[in-house]
Amino acid sequence: MLVFAASDKGGTGRSVTSANLAYQRALAGDHVAYVDFDFGSPTAAAVFDVPSAMRGTEERGLHSYLEGETAEPVRIDVWRQTEHPLLRARPNQSGRLVLFPGDAGGGEFATGEEGLERCIDLLLRLNGEFDLTVVDLSAGRSYAVDMVLAATAHPRMRNVPFRWLVFHRWTRQHVIAASGLVHKEHGIIGGGVERGHDEDTLRAAIRFVRAAVPDPESPLWSQGSPAQAAWMQACDEALRRLAAEHRIGDSVVLGVVPLEPILQWREQLITEEDVLATQIANKETLEALEEIARRLTDDSYWGRP
Ligand SMILES: Nc1ncnc2c1ncn2[C@@H]1O[C@H](COP(=O)(O)OP(=O)(O)OP(=O)(O)O)[C@@H](O)[C@H]1O
Ligand SMILES: [Mg+2]
């Protein structure tokens, strides 16, 4: 299965969250590929703690591949190449976790017919080789979004299952922006239909993930004044109404990731040790990531909205 990670704005939590989802699925035994199609800023390796590719690879990465300069984009075996000490001890039952980085110095670019064919070849190959392929897409209505909409509408990809996760923060601007990315005239649904997708099928394949959400009920906030608690509650409810009005309400949300200091500052994978041993991460955050990772392939969350 292919999972496209999109967001309208930058800095939404798209990479940090989707890398954690990839990690959770690999821990659960799936073979997982993480493809960095954030062409303007391919920094996903930082989240996996792979210093050699922090800002893209110096070898031939995804930019070189899509431009036809190499037949095979470079791969990073995360379990072996990460500097994260806990990740290097790959758990017994885990699946492969392979990062496909962009090129250092590569930028945004429009792909022509040949680039599109190469993109299709890559997605088909990865879908055959991995249980799950997570594709981190440049923010907004980007070339990357266009390319994968066109690729997945192509007859060669007719039988490849795909899903979309649209990440946004829990603020008014982000709610409106995420709704626009999906629902506005040439958004993911409209643009997808223009490229040959069936509207209902595409709509049913899209879910939203709210990232870095302060939970007014959480003990983290229990030290505040009653006035602050009531105010937070009111803001939360107002945002829920706004999201529902913009057709991104609870029924199309796959999960909510709490505001988490170690995601905020460390921008890395949360491990069980972070929660149980060093206790620097909140249990609720790890549970939220585990739950979203499970729901990713659970069909009961992917009926027709
Ligand atoms: N659950 C969270 N709680 C707190 N902070 C978070 C959380 N998730 C992400 N962040 C913070 O948000 C920032 C942006 O996250 P991330 O880089 O994943 O977003 P992005 O949408 O991929 O951004 P870009 O468009 O720059 O690629 C990170 O630097 C991290 O500090
Ligand atoms: Mg990112």
Q: Which residues contact 85 (CB under 8 A, 6 or more apart)?
A: none
Q: What is the pLDDT along the chain (305 residues), one digit of tens a residue?
A: 999 999 999 999 999 999 999 999 999 999 999 999 999 999 999 999 999 999 999 999 999 999 999 999 999 999 999 999 889 989 999 999 999 999 999 999 888 999 999 999 999 999 999 999 999 999 999 999 999 999 999 999 999 999 999 999 999 999 999 999 999 999 999 999 999 999 999 999 999 999 999 988 887 777 889 999 899 999 999 999 999 999 999 999 999 999 999 999 999 999 999 999 999 999 999 999 999 999 999 999 997 65
pLDDT at site 106: 92
Residue nearest to atom 9 of ligand 1 (CA): 13
Q: How far is the CA of 91 from the centre of ligand 2 (A)?
A: 26
233 touches ligand 1 (CB under 6 Å): no
Which pTM was predicted? 0.97
Taking the centre of ligand 1 as the mean of its atom positions, its distance from the CA of residue 97, in whole angstroms, is 21
Residue nearest to atom 16 of ligand 1 (CA): 13
Dihedral sign, Cα of residue 113, residue 117, residue 55, residue 142: positive
pLDDT at position 267, please?
Answer: 93
List, in sequence order, every residue forming a beta bridge with 6; answer none if it has no partner: 166
Distance 213 CA to ligand 1 centre (A): 12
**CB of residue 264 inside a 6 A radius of ligand 1:** yes
Residue 162's pLDDT is what?
98
Give distance in angstroms: CA of 17 to centre of ligand 1: 8
